[in-house]
Amino acid sequence: MTYTHLLFDLDHTLLDFDRAEDLALTYLLEEAGVASRDLKVYKDHYIPMNRSMWEDLNHGLITKPELLRTRFSRLFEHFGQEVDGRHLAGRYQHFLSQQGQELPQAHAFLSNVKNRGHKIYAATNGVSYIQRGRLQASSILPFFDDIFISDEVGAHKPSTDFFEKIADQVNDFHPDSALMIGDSLTADIQGGNNAGIDSIWFNPKGLVNETPAVPTYQVKNYQEILTILSK
């Protein structure tokens, strides 16, 4: 199979979200007056809570405005504090938008892919100015032919609307020659399944698939993706 149009998730696939999140949380919590000795316990509660909320969003259980509005008020409420969740959300987004850390070898990998003649697109759920800011702060932005962010598209992965709107905007886009590459089974792989697009589950940690999503391929590193693209 020759794949001409490659749709890449960003976080945990090309960009180092864990590092970006840690730095943004540090700046936010320090600004909010959390003592240095307490930073870890706040982060340890926030990170799984936030990921669970994004999973709820993927399953349609909450809305994105609700997620963004309430996650920090819920965090501080857990520690018996009342805060302005909207204000903290805005400050966190500001700090996060400045973080362009990439996963190791992401730049070299995309350079290789680009040199092979593939069209490269970012296909990401998230807040527009955050994702664009992080790409601007990274070194990988020039590799993308276009960027599709759920905020701008008006739909989010795994909905078919997200992929249909990409198809409407990209010349010569055909599902049978497109490939969705990402780490999220519920967003990226299920999205590919819903849209009839082949997918690569980027799974460097060797996680077990306990979802209904069925990836076309599963890889642990970028080299394995290059091998698939060479077939």
Could you give the residue numbers annotated as active site? 9, 11
Considering only CA atoms, which of 14, 80, 12 is closest in space to residue 51?
A: 12
| Ordered alpha helix ranges (H), the chain | 17-31, 39-58, 64-78, 85-96, 106-115, 128-137, 150-153, 160-169, 190-195, 222-230
Q: How far is CA 61 from the centre of its chain?
A: 19
User: Helix, strand, coil % (nearest 5) of the chain?
Assistant: 55, 15, 35
Q: How far apart are CA 183 and CA 16, in angstroms?
A: 12
SS3 state at 178: strand
Q: How far apart are CA 228 and CA 193, in angstroms?
A: 18
